[in-house]
Structure 1
Amino acid sequence: MTTPSEPGDGRLDPSLSAIMSERRQLINLAYRLLGSLADAEDVVQETYARWYAMSRRQQETIESPGAWLTTVASRICLDLLGSARARREHYVGAWIPEPLPDRTEWTTGRPGGATVDPADRVTLDESVNMAFLVVLESMTPAERVAFILHDVFRYSFAEVAEIVGRTPAACRQLASSARRRIRTSQDPSATPAAQRADIVRNFKQAWEAKDIDALISLLAPDATGIADGGGLVSAELDPIDGGEQIARILVDLARKAPDLTILERTVNGQPGLVAQQDGVTAVVMAFDVVGDRIKRIWAVRNPEKLRPWTTG
């Protein structure tokens, strides 16, 4: 990609490489703030559009272009979070953050399934697992921005204050409130990664075998299943409460769709499952495992949220 430094002068912009190197950081930030890859991509595009709308002289007065880009992207996200909250109140069914595949499986979602540029991939760590993102959804926009910028991206409260438009002390309080929400939602019984993978694998095998008793034994009695169909009529609109009820619905689904292929996949950095029909991803499932049982299941069927997933 090349950009002239001034119209018609034939020279390349020497700062382009440095500016574009910030793209991955911006994608990572915007996804964590918005829980939507599509929205994050739009934010980054708008951020760069604002940069290149300035004259070269204006650009050269900016001491740290990377900090400028982060500030602009964060403020756009802050505005979007306010409107997103209103949109999600009218969303048909539950709204679940957009699930992300392992970095080796990203596709553009366009014809041909071209691989996504590494700069557009989100780094998969604890700050993008589904349980964490769901808690972020319960925060106010200001809490979410202050917490992500400070606790995840390590910006000082003075820097956060400049972005959010509040005092450093106020931003410290926002981040503290966000941390309390995180702590309240977390179960102290952390399950080792290998054990989580085994439980999800056993769940897959029990589902394929339509073994209700095996499924029930893997689900916590008070387990919750949440489906995001994006308004699909066939989607469960309300959370499903109870391990036995979830097991029966899954077995019923398997009987109605005998051609369903269930695959083990990494979902937001955690063991998950993908269900495909005719080689096309139909459902992506993320799990919250507590102890030796599955406590929560998030099932995403909204086609708009399945763009990055491999198809066959």
Structure 2
Amino acid sequence: MTDTIRLALVGMGKIAHDQHVPAIAGNPAFELVATVSRSPNGVEGVPHFHDIDELAKSDIAVDAVALCTPPQVRHAIAAAALENNWHVFLEKPPGATLAEVAVLEELAAKANVTLFASWHSRYALGVEPAREWLSARKVTSAAITWREDVRQWHPGQAWIWEAGGFGVFDPGINALSIATHIMPQPFFIEQATLDFPANRDAPIAADVAFRTTDGRPVTLDLDWRQEGHQSWDIVVETTDGTLKLAEGGAVLTLPDGSTPHHEEGLHGEYPGLYARFAELVQGGRSDVDIAPLRHVADAFMRGKRREVEDFVE
């Protein structure tokens, strides 16, 4: 492999264009050498392919791929990339099931290449200082509220309502990726209620109750029907006061009113992800944290299904 990581971007939807392309362009460790998508929406001046097999048969030299496809189709693409000995960056969630991610991890180990299950919300400005502050405190409870308007943030994305598309857990897994990172003790689900529109196969809202290993309550309130102000907040009560993370982890407020931030977070979430991916590739390591995905799977296993009115976009 050359010093520069020759990267192909697979799945050219909104997140790829808005976040991945600028982050790749801003990191000298990477060169975008190809895009892959069933749609023609590639990047000007970059070779574009219909699928990953077409890319593999081309004369384009590739070291790594970043997968931004819906989770239901990602496993086969990732497996093909690993079989080509390409390093793989998985957009969140890393897969549609836990089992398929485990298989990818085994394939990456056998091929001696990097597999990176990325969680962009962990790179928000306030997350790392929140983790550091909580590491020395005793948590008494935590409340996570992630409420947004699906029509605003996910317009026309039919796949997200299909089985394996996660529904409201698509943004909700961002909250869980932060919570599993900052909480000083693990937590597990006790009960949940999932609201499914009568005409959809994925939930539009969820109310989940967790408990930490030392018996402290953690609640998760997800809703895609929010109008007006959007809420992406985590409030952690401790014996030393209340920690608040707002705006999806971007704004941290400690009990004394101070708002510390981590300097490394200044470059943004996706630049942080690509810096991490480059570090892993160059160090010959993988990073496959499935804790957020495991909580989502547990919610579907433990949750009561409640049918609500049809969702019509």
Structure ID, larger Rg: 1
- TM-score interval for Structure 1 and Structure 2 normalised by the shorter chain: under 0.3
- Name the structure with the higher strand share: 2
TM-score, L = length of structure 1: 0.23
Higher helix share: 1
